[in-house]
């Protein structure tokens, strides 16, 4: 901006110097119409340069204002997005806290209903159960769990067949009674 102002000032000084050099047209040292015309031209040149400077300043001010507005909008959008996601996170934390509280209440009510002697007995058996769980073959357990859906389908089919056979025998029994 300073460089531009210096350039404009230099141009202004050059034009003023050109007009000043030719100020006394008659050379008589008196102010006459030609001298007034030269002064008028000098003033017009100064006004023209000032107009250019003012236009440039106004354009820069508009650009700065637009950039400020754009930055403000971007900042507001970022704040809105931050607020939105923080609100979601807050709700999730509150929901998780409520679930933990419910689990704690359930656990507390379960423990309060258990006989202290039975609880002590369970706590005594816990290390033994842990040792037994450590000895389980995880791969074999996974194999059994993988085959469990197929087995359940077979059991369901078998149950359907047994029901249809029972229904058939029930129908035969009613036919023979009649």
CA–chain centroid gap for 143, Å, is: 43
Cα 34 from chain centre:
72
148 and 129 together in one domain: no
Lowest mean pLDDT among 17-21, 34-38, 127-131, 157-161: 17-21
How many domains does the chain fold into?
A: 2
Q: Are residues 13 and 100 in the same domain?
A: yes
pLDDT given at position 127: 87
What does the pLDDT read at residue 29? 57
Residue 80 is classified by DSSP as: H
Domain that holds residue 81: 2-135
Would you say the pTM of this structure is higher than 0.75?
no
The pLDDT-based confidence of 167 (bands split at 50, 70, 90) is confident
Q: Give the Cα separation of 10 and 12 in Å (integer).
A: 5
Mean pLDDT throughout 38-58? 89
Q: Are residues 75 and 141 in the same domain?
A: no
Give the Cα separation of 149 and 143 in Å (integer): 11
**Confidence bin at 43 (pLDDT 50/70/90):** confident
Whether residue 125 sits in one domain with residue 41: yes
The pLDDT of residue 55 = 94
Task: Give the model confidence (pLDDT) of 102-151 as tens digits.
Answer: 998 988 888 778 777 877 888 888 888 888 878 888 888 888 888 888 98
> Do 98 and 30 share a structural domain?
yes
Q: Are residues 130 and 113 in the same domain?
A: yes
Among 86, 7, 114, 19, which residue's Cα sits nearest to residue 52? 7
**What is the average pLDDT score of the chain?**
84
* Residue 104 sits in the same domain as residue 145: no
Residue appearing with tokens 């058996």 = 125
């Amino acid at each position: 901006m300073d460089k531009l102002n210096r350039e404009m000032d230099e141009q202004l000084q050059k034009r003023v110097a050109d007009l000043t050099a030719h100020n006394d047209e008659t050379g008589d040292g008196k102010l006459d119409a030609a001298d007034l015309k030269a002064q008028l031209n000098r003033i017009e040149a100064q006004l023209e340069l000032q107009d250019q400077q003012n236009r440039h300043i106004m354009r820069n001010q508009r650009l700065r204002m637009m950039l400020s507005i754009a930055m403000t909008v971007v900042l507001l959008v970022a704040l809105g997005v931050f607020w939105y996601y923080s609100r979601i996170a807050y709700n999730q934390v509150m929901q998780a806290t409520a679930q933990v509280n419910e689990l704690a209440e359930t656990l507390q009510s379960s423990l309060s209903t258990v006989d202290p002697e039975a609880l002590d007995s369970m706590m005594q058996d816990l290390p033994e159960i842990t040792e037994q769980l450590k000895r389980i073959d995880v791969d074999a357990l996974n194999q059994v769990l993988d085959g469990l859906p197929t087995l359940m389908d077979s059991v369901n089919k078998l149950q359907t067949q047994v029901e249809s056979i029972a229904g058939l025998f029930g129908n035969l029994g009613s036919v023979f009674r009649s």
